[in-house]
Chains A and B, each alone.
Chain A
Amino acid sequence: MNLKQKLKVRTWIVGASAWGIALLLFFPILWMFLTSFKTELQAISTPPTLVFEPTLENFSLVQERSDYLKHAINSIVTSFGATILALLIAIPGAYAMAFYPGKRTKDLLLWMLSTKMLPAVGVLVPIYILFRDYGLLDTRIGLIIIFTMMNLPIVVWMLFSYFKDIPREILEACRMDGASPMGEVVKIVMPLAWGGIASTGLLSIVLCWNEAFWSLNLTAADAGTLTSMIASYSSPEGLFWAKLSAASTLACAPIVAFGWLCQKQLVQGLTFGAVK
C-alpha cells in the first residue's frame, strides 16, 4: 500500500467513526423528534415502532392548549434582553480589568465566578420575596434581571479573556490620538473583539433560553418562557410521551436551529483566551 492509499483508508476510517459517534450522540434528539409524530400508543409500544404514519395531531394539541407563540416570545425577549444587558454591563468592566489590571483583578474575577456557585434554590425565597415587594413577579423585566445576573460572571470572564488578546500597541497608538476611554472601547476594542463578543452573547442566549428553575418559580400566566411550557406536558395522569415530545421539539427547535446557524461563530469564538 502506498502512502496515498494509506491516507485514503485513514480518512475513511476517521470519517466512519466520526459519523458513527455523532449519530449515536444525536440519537436521543432524533428519537424525540420522531416520537413527536407518533400516536401515544405507538410512542410506548415495544419493540419501538420504527415505521409509522406520521401524525401532526400532537402539535395541534399543543398549539390548542398552550399559547406557543406567547411562550416563544417571552423566551426570545428574556434571553436576548438579558444578554444585551449583560454585555452592556460587562464590556466596560472586562475592558478595565484587561487593560488596567490591578493587584486584585484576579481575585475580583474569581469572586465574580464564585457568585455563580450558590445553588439557585438556596436563594429562591429571598428573591421571591424581593420580587413580590417590587412587583417583579411574573414579569419579563424580572426574568431579564435574574438572567442577566445569572450569566454576568461568565460573560465578564469570557470578554476579559478576549480583550486581553488585543495587542496593546494598537491601543497605545490610539491613546496618543487622544481618544477618551469610552471612545477607546467603542472604536478600537469592540471591532477587534467583535468575534469574542458575539460568541459570548451566543453562549449567554443559549444559557438563558434553557434556564428552567427561575422561569418556573417566578412566573405565572404572563411571563412564562418555553421551559415553563414544558412543565405543563410532563407527567399528567395518562399517556403523554408523544405530546411531551411535540412540546419539547417546539421548545428546543428555535434554539437548536439558532445554534446550528451560529456554530461557525461559536467554534471560532469560544477561545476563552485559551488560544495564543
Chain B
Amino acid sequence: MQRAVTRTLLAPSVISLLLWMIVPLAMTIYFSTIRYNLLYPGEHNFTGLLNYEFFVTDPGFWPAVNNTLILLGSVLAITVVLGVALSALIDQPFFGRGAVRVLLISPFFVMPTVSALIWKNMMMNPVYGVFAWLSQMVGMEPMDWLADAPLLSIIIMVSWQWLPFAILVFVTALQSQDTEQKEAARMDGATSWHIFRYLTIPHLARPVAVVIMIETIFLLVVFAEIYVSTGGGPGYDSTNLAYLIYSQALLQFDVGIASAGGLFAVVLANIVAFFLIRAIGKNLTV
C-alpha cells in the first residue's frame, strides 16, 4: 500500500524526466547513425559509426575535451576558495553588511549572454576596455585578453557569475554555525585563524560539496559565454565540448555529427559525475 503511494507520488517527476530524456535521446541516437545535414534534405543514409569517427577525429576534439575539464576545474577552484573566504569575511559584523551582500550576489542575476557582452566589450577590449585603460595608466601595454588568454578570459567571466552562487550557499551555511562553540573556542584562546581552520572549514564541507555538484552540472555545458565572446578561438584555444557540438549543429548544420557529439558529452558528463560522487558523495545529502 505504502509502496503504491510512493510510486504515485514519484510518478510525475520520474515519468516527465524519463520522457524528456528518452525521447530526444532516442532520436539523438538515431540521428547519430545516419547522414543528416540540414542543408541536404532527403539524404538520410545509414552510416554506422561514421559520425562518431568524424566527431572524435575532428581536430578540435581533444582541445575541446581538455578545455572543458580545465574550465570546470578552474572555475570550481576559484569559486569555492574565494567563496569561502568572502563569505567568512562578510559573516563578521561591519558597517553596511546588507548592502555588501546585495552587491556581491548581483552578478548571479545577470544573464550569461549579457555578462559576456559586458566583459568582452567594456572590460577586456584592448583598446577602449576598462582593463586597457587601467594598464595604460600604470604604463603597461594593454593586454589583448580574448586573443592572448582566451580560456582564462572565459574562466574569469564564468567565475564572476558563479562566485555569487557559492557565496549565497556558504553565507547560508555560516549563519547556522554554532556561535556558542565559536565563543567558547575564543575564550580558550583560539586565534581567528584557528577558529576558521578547525571550526568553520569542517562546517562548510557539505555546502562545498553541494556547490561543486550544482556548479559542475552547469559548467560542463558552458556555452553562451564562449559563443558571445571568443567564438571558441583563436584556433581551438577556447572551444569546449558544448561549443564544438554547437559548431557542428548550427554552424555546419550537420545534425548527424552533432548528435554523435552530444552522446559523447553525455558519456563524459557521467564519467565526471562518477568521480565527483566518489570524491564528495559522502558529503551529499543523497
Contacts and interface: CB of A to CB of B under 8 A. Distances in A.
Indicate yes or no for A touching B, C-beta below 8 A: yes
Interface of A: 11-12, 14-15, 17-19, 21-23, 25-29, 31-32, 35, 44-48, 88-90, 92-97, 100, 102, 106, 108-110, 112-127, 129-130, 148-149, 152-154, 156, 160-161, 164, 181, 206, 209-210, 212-213, 226-227, 230-231, 234, 241, 244-245, 248, 251-252, 255-256, 258-260, 263, 266-275
A7 B250 CA distance: 59
10 contacts: A11-B95, A14-B94, A25-B104, A92-B9, A100-B3, A120-B221, A210-B112, A230-B117, A231-B113, A274-B173
B191 to A, nearest CB: 12
B122 A241 contact: yes
A93 B12 contact: yes
Given A28-B118, A29-B118, 16 more contacts: A14-B89, A17-B89, A25-B107, A26-B103, A28-B107, A88-B12, A118-B269, A119-B242, A119-B265, A120-B223, A121-B250, A212-B112, A213-B223, A230-B111, A259-B105, A269-B172
Q: Chain B interface secondary structure, helix, strand, loop or mixed?
A: helix
Contact of B86 (A21, A149, A268, A272): A21
B182 interface: no
A255 B105 CA distance: 12
Say whether chain A's binding surface is mostly helix, strand, loop, or mixed.
helix
Contacts of A227: 111, 113
Interface stretch (B22-30, B46-54, B143-151): B22-30
Contacts of B130: 27, 31, 48
Interface string B116-128: 0111011100011
A161 B207 CA distance: 12
Contacts of A268: 172, 175
B210 A149 contact: no
B115 interface: yes
A267 B101 contact: yes
Highest count of chain B CB atoms <10 Å: which of A152, A160, A209, A269: A152
A164 B221 CA distance: 30
Contacts of B171: 267
Interface string B33-46: 00000100000000
Given A127-B24, A270-B172, A114 B17 contact: no
Contact of A11 (B7, B94, B261): B94
Interface residues of B, number: 104
Interface of B: 2-3, 5-14, 16-17, 20-21, 23-25, 27-28, 31, 38, 86, 89-90, 92-97, 99-115, 117-119, 121-123, 127-128, 130, 132-133, 136, 160, 163-164, 168-169, 171-173, 175-176, 206-207, 209-210, 213-214, 217, 220-221, 223-224, 228, 241-242, 245-246, 249-250, 255, 258-259, 261-263, 265-266, 269-270, 272-273, 277, 285-286
A29 B172 contact: no
B122 A32 contact: yes
Q: Which of A93, A110, A125, A129 has the most CB of B within 10 A?
A: A125
Contact of A212 (B92, B207, B224, B242): B224
Contact of B24 (A47, A106, A126, A251): A126
Nearest to A231: B113
A233 B160 CA distance: 23
Given A126-B24, A268-B172, A118 B265 contact: yes
Contact of B262 (A32, A118, A149): A118
Contacts of A117: 217, 220-221, 265-266, 269-270, 272-273
Contacts of A100: 2-3, 5-6
Given A267-B171, A270-B169, A256 B106 contact: yes
B249 A122 contact: yes
Contacts of A271: 172-173, 176
A95 to B, nearest CB: 6
B128 A114 contact: no
A236 B25 CA distance: 36
Nearest to A120: B221
Nearest to B22: A115
B127 A46 contact: yes
A14 B93 CA distance: 8
A122 B172 contact: no
Nearest to B204: A274
Nearest to B132: A46
B249 to A, nearest CB: 5
Nearest to B216: A117
A149 B108 CA distance: 21
A172 to B, nearest CB: 13
A59 B93 CA distance: 40
A197 B245 CA distance: 35
Contact of A89 (B12, B100, B255): B12
A115 B266 CA distance: 9
B169 A152 contact: no
Contacts of B21: 115
